[in-house]
């Protein structure tokens, strides 16, 4: 039994509305249902969503502050003033800065740019940068993707005699800066109808206000990158921006974008919003995370192909370095958190800080820990000399992290962001107070339900519905991103037909699922370890995205696995494992994400004679087989209560007797899964089902060899030479003969009894027990997984009835 990582929920749609829309648009019921569930429930709405209009969205002068900003910029151009574009170091800030460079080049302006260094300066405007700008002769500053919270810095700029036009999209604070113009659709009194613009989107609207219909169409490419990278909703005007940007990008005139697509391995002719999010954006962001974002700005604005290819290669290398840095910090942060959990409990908001955690990647680390623990997470780097902490936060849907930070604003030097993500700086002396204040706030806002992850699916579908035509039709809903995600489908009760690992070191998983007469391939990246847990015939439920797999000119539908569940208990057939202890530890870690709402409880059972060290089995309760009690505990994990249900039962060794097996099943009656990790005995070492012929042959052999007392070990040695049976089997048969008084067994010797009383083999308890033990061993050693699973289930039922 594997529990899904999250609870899947799929909205209902009115069947009549779905049917009517499908008929009106001549589309499949599946696509019609998806449109209805996304709010496109009329033909007009659906057509506009799928095809879009030719217009440029809303009038840029509806943005508050635009009417003041445009004349001020025109005056600066007329008077040949020197302008400073002040940007940010993330992909949205880089895109915004690049777009302003193209705009000011187009207008023939005199300008400089400034982007702060993430690690050395941090987010936002800085007075030393304003001093530098003044020295350069700047009289007008235009901020992009920053500035809405820079109250004191803009006041300082005003003192220096420089005007500031703020273009931003972050949440406005209560105290707004006294800039020459503030342009932000989220300002409370801004009448602009769409609030979801990225920073680059606001910059684009400024370009529109200045140029009207003369804005070059290729600038949409720059705007699309920042919009997708900053996780803005791909609805309304953003949808038009990204669609036009992708269309232009397929034949991009920008050397930098062409080179970036190349190093990202993205074919230009099929570039999508998903490619921007997972291919282009991480490389642009790597520049600001590990170096300086100016390198990425240069890449997006260069006109030289050779320079573009060199810069794209550098960003690709930086991104690989960034991945290694993230992996290291995630490991360190998780270890620090686990130590905290052992001493206390998992906090509602996780706050972790350490020296040497690159401030450029702490947001990514926070995201990864959020995925693992499903709690809001704040990760901070501590400066070794000043003690100042700079960090990033990521939150779950139930908690607005910006509001949470606002509740303890007095503890920070600076903060800003969105409901789902934010940044902050504070001194390490305030860390404990900061964490406590945030958790006090969370205790008032969050309920236990908030900590149960929920994944929104679009549709419950049968494999028959997920055809090639359906996959091709989904493109009508693109571009996909925030607020318009790639559709997710739930398929229940599909049978695993084939399972295999793929990729380097078997890192990835490929399944073939069957439902009725229909099959489909499923690919799961990073899930190769599950291959042995999903043998043929396993019935599973999956959550997946539908795509088209193109190979050697052929196309077929393919599912990309997001999550899975196996509703029924499983028997993991890992018999003959080279290292049972190591395999059990790996299995424990592998199943952790699939243990459901409760922590994974694992028990390992083994023979007392096992010599291998058990140190790798941390977090498990340990049990040994016992001749008298069946099994006995060796170590309980501290987290296990008396009635804690074991989810995974690992048999490092098989039981030696039916009594031990029954005791095992009685001790763990509700185990979700049982893993068989025992060694496989050689044929001669195995017990055989006893027959009268076996005993008849043995009787004659003993009669010939033991007319006088013979040492038992010597007799067994001779018997094994004459028989196909091994020493274990022969020794147990001697037990039967002794019980029936066919032999005399004393002082380590055996002698044949010449005239024993006539007795039936079935009168011997040892004979009956040998039969049961041999049957058990035959199942454990020789039967198929399905046969063994059925037999174990019947034994479990028998034990439960007796209990």
Q: What is the CATH number of the domain that holds 408?
A: 3.10.310.30
Q: Which of 499, 531, 565 is the endpoint of a domain? A: 565
Q: What is the pLDDT of residue 642?
A: 45
Q: What is the CATH number of the domain that holds 762?
A: 1.10.10
CB atoms within 10 A of CB 578: 7
**pLDDT tens-digit map of 730-780:** 999 999 999 999 999 998 999 999 988 889 999 999 999 999 999 999 999
Kindly state whether residues 428 and 472 are assigned to the same domain: no
Q: What is the pLDDT of residue 641?
A: 47
Kindly state whether residues 427 and 297 are assigned to the same domain: no
Higher pLDDT, 569 or 257: 257
What number is the average pLDDT over the span 368-372? 93
Residue of 597, 489, 523 whose CA lies nearest to 5: 597
- Total H helices, total E strands in the chain: 26, 27
Residue of 470, 448, 274 whose CA lies nearest to 375: 448
Query: Which regions of 552-667 does DSSP assign to beta strands (E)?
Result: 554-565, 570-573, 602-606, 621-626, 630-635, 648-651
List the single range of 162-166, 298-302, 565-569 with lowest mean pLDDT. 565-569
Kindly state whether residues 420 and 531 are assigned to the same domain: no
Q: What is the pLDDT of residue 448?
A: 86
**pLDDT tens-digit map of 528-566:** 989 989 999 999 999 999 999 988 888 999 999 999 999
Range of the domain at 729: 684-781
Q: State yes or no: pLDDT of 190 exceeds 60.
A: yes
Q: Is residue 13 part of a domain?
A: no
- pLDDT band with cut points at 50, 70 and 90 for residue 402: very high
Q: What is the pLDDT of residue 612?
A: 76
Cα separation, 221 vs 249, in Å, equals 6
Q: What is the CATH number of the domain that holds 559?
A: 2.40.50.460
Query: What would the two tokens of residue 103 be?
Result: 């705009």
Q: What is the CATH number of the domain that holds 312?
A: 3.90.1640.30
- pLDDT band with cut points at 50, 70 and 90 for residue 261: very high
- pLDDT band with cut points at 50, 70 and 90 for residue 55: low
Q: Is residue 43 part of a domain?
A: no
Q: What is the pLDDT of residue 278?
A: 95
Q: Is residue 796 part of a domain?
A: no
**What phi and psi values does residue 353 have, to the nearest 5 degrees?**
-140, 145
Q: Which of 523, 548, 565 is the endpoint of a domain? A: 565
What 190-194 contacts at long range (C-beta under 8 Å, 24+ apart), as own/partner pairs, is: 190/63, 190/64, 190/65, 191/62, 191/64, 192/58, 192/62, 192/63, 192/64, 193/58, 193/62, 194/57, 194/58, 194/236, 194/237, 194/238
Q: What is the pLDDT of residue 117?
A: 92
Kindly state whether residues 738 and 774 are assigned to the same domain: yes
Percentage of the residues of the chain whose pLDDT score is greater than 70: 98
Quick check: 29 and 584 in contact, CB under 8 A? no
Q: What is the pLDDT of residue 309?
A: 97
Kindly state whether residues 173 and 263 are assigned to the same domain: yes
Q: What is the pLDDT of residue 480?
A: 94
**pLDDT tens-digit map of 443-462:** 999 998 898 899 999 999 99
Residue with tokens 């607020």: 483
What is the rounded average pLDDT for all residues in the chain? 92
Kindly state whether residues 67 and 180 are assigned to the same domain: yes
- pLDDT band with cut points at 50, 70 and 90 for residue 644: low
Q: Is residue 644 part of a domain?
A: yes
Q: What is the pLDDT of residue 232?
A: 94
Kindly state whether residues 259 and 293 are assigned to the same domain: yes
Kindly state whether residues 139 and 156 are assigned to the same domain: yes
Q: What is the CATH number of the domain that holds 588?
A: 3.40.50
Cα separation, 154 vs 226, in Å, equals 25
What number is the average pLDDT over the span 81-110? 97
Kindly state whether residues 372 and 495 are assigned to the same domain: no
Kindly state whether residues 654 and 544 are assigned to the same domain: no
Q: What is the pLDDT of residue 53?
A: 60
**pLDDT tens-digit map of 484-517:** 999 999 999 999 999 999 988 889 999 999 999 9
Q: What is the pLDDT of residue 120?
A: 85
Percentage of the residues of the chain whose pLDDT score is greater than 90: 76
Q: Is residue 78 part of a domain?
A: yes
Q: In what order do the strands lie in the sheet with 181-183?
A: 110-114, 82-86, 138-144, 163-167, 181-183
Q: Which of 516, 549, 565 is the endpoint of a domain? A: 565
Q: What is the pLDDT of residue 84?
A: 98
Kindly state whether residues 511 and 580 are assigned to the same domain: no
Q: State yes or no: pLDDT of 138 exceeds 80.
A: yes
Q: What is the pLDDT of residue 619?
A: 81
| pTM for the full predicted model | 0.80
What number is the average pLDDT over the span 331-336? 96
Q: Is residue 21 part of a domain?
A: no
**What is the domain count for the chain?**
5
Q: Is residue 539 part of a domain?
A: yes
Q: State yes or no: pLDDT of 289 exceeds 50.
A: yes
Where does 379-512 have alpha helices with state H? 401-406, 431-445, 468-473
Kindly state whether residues 313 and 368 are assigned to the same domain: no
Quick check: 426 and 413 in contact, CB under 8 A? yes
Q: What is the pLDDT of residue 364?
A: 93
Q: Is residue 582 part of a domain?
A: yes
Rg (CA), the chain: 35
Q: State yes or no: pLDDT of 629 exceeds 90.
A: no
Q: What is the pLDDT of residue 643?
A: 46
């Amino acid at each position: 039994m594997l529990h899904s990582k999250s609870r899947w929920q799929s909205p209902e749609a009115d069947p009549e509305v779905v049917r009517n829309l499908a008929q009106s648009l001549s589309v499949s019921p599946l696509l019609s249902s998806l449109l209805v569930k996304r709010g496109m429930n009329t033909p007009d709405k659906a057509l506009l969503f799928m095809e879009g209009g030719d217009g440029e969205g809303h009038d840029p002068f509806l943005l508050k502050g635009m009417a003041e900003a445009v004349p001020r910029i025109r005056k600066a151009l007329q008077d040949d003033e020197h302008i400073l574009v002040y940007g940010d170091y993330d992909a949205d800030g880089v895109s915004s800065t690049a777009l302003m460079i193209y705009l000011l080049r187009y207008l023939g302006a005199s300008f400089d740019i400034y982007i702060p260094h993430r690690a050395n300066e941090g987010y936002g405007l800085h007075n030393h940068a304003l001093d530098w700008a003044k020295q350069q002769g700047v009289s007008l500053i235009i901020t992009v993707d920053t500035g809405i919270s820079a109250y004191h810095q803009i006041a300082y700029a005003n003192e220096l005699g420089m005007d500031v036009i703020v273009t931003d999209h972050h949440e406005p604070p209560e105290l707004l800066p006294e800039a020459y113009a503030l342009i932000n659709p989220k300002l409370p009194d801004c009448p602009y109808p769409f609030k979801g613009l990225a920073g680059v989107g606001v910059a684009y609207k400024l370009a529109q206000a200045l140029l009207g219909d003369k804005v070059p169409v290729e600038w949409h490419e720059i705007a699309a990158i920042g919009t997708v990278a900053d996780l803005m909703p791909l609805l309304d005007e953003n949808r038009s921006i990204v669609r036009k940007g992708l269309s232009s990008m397929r034949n991009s005139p920008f050397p930098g974008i062409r080179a970036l697509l190349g190093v990202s391995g993205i074919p230009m002719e099929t570039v999508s919003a998903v490619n921007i999010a997972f291919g282009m954006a991480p490389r642009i962001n790597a520049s600001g995370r590990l170096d300086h974002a100016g390198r990425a700005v240069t890449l997006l604005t260069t006109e030289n192909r050779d320079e573009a290819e060199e810069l794209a290669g550098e960003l690709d290398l930086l991104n690989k370095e960034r991945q290694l840095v993230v992996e290291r910090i995630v490991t360190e942060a998780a270890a620090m958190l686990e130590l905290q959990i052992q001493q206390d409990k998992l906090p509602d908001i996780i706050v972790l800080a350490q020296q040497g955690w690159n401030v450029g990647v702490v947001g990514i680390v926070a995201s990864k820990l959020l995925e693992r623990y499903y709690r809001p997470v704040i990760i901070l780097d501590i400066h070794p000399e000043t003690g100042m902490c700079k960090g990033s936060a990521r939150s779950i849907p139930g908690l607005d992290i910006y509001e949470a930070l606002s509740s303890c604003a007095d503890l920070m030097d600076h903060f800003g962001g969105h409901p789902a993500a934010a940044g902050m700086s504070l001194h390490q002396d305030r860390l404990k107070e900061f964490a406590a204040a945030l958790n006090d706030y969370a205790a008032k806002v969050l309920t236990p339900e908030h900590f149960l992850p929920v994944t929104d699916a679009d549709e419950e579908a049968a494999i028959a519905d997920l055809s090639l035509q359906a996959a091709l039709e989904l493109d009508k809903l693109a571009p996909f991103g925030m607020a318009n995600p790639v559709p997710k489908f739930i398929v229940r009760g599909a049978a695993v037909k084939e399972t295999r690992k793929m990729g380097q070191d078997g890192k990835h998983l490929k399944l073939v699922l069957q439902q009725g007469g229909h099959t489909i391939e499923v690919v799961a990246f990073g899930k190769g370890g599950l291959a042995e847990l999903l043998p043929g015939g396993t019935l599973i439920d999956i959550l997946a995205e539908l795509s088209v797999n193109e190979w050697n000119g052929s196309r077929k539908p393919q599912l990309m696995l997001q999550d899975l569940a196996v509703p029924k208990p499983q028997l993991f057939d890992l018999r003959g494992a080279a290292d049972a202890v190591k395999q059990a530890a790996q299995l424990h870690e592998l199943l952790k994400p699939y243990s459901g709402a409760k922590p994974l409880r694992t028990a390992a059972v083994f023979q007392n004679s096992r010599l291998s060290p058990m140190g790798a089995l941390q977090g498990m309760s340990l049990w040994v087989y016992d001749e008298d009690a069946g099994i006995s505990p060796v170590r309980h994990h501290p987290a296990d209560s008396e009635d804690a249900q074991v989810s995974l039962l690992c048999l490092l060794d098989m039981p030696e007797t039916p009594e031990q097996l029954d005791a095992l099943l009685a001790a763990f009656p509700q185990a979700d899964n049982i893993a068989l990790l025992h060694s496989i005995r050689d044929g001669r070492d195995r017990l055989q089902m006893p027959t009268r012929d076996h005993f008849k042959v043995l009787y004659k052999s003993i009669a010939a060899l033991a007319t006088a007392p013979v040492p038992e070990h010597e007799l067994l040695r001779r018997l094994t030479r004459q028989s196909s049976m091994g020493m274990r089997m022969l020794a147990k048969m001697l037990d039967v003969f002794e019980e029936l008084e066919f032999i005399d067994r004393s002082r380590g010797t055996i002698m044949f009894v010449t005239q024993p009383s006539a007795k039936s083999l079935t009168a011997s308890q040892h004979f009956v027990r040998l039969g049961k033990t041999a049957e058990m061993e035959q199942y454990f050693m020789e039967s198929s997984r399905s046969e063994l699973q059925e037999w174990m289930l019947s034994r479990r039922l028998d034990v439960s009835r007796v209990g």
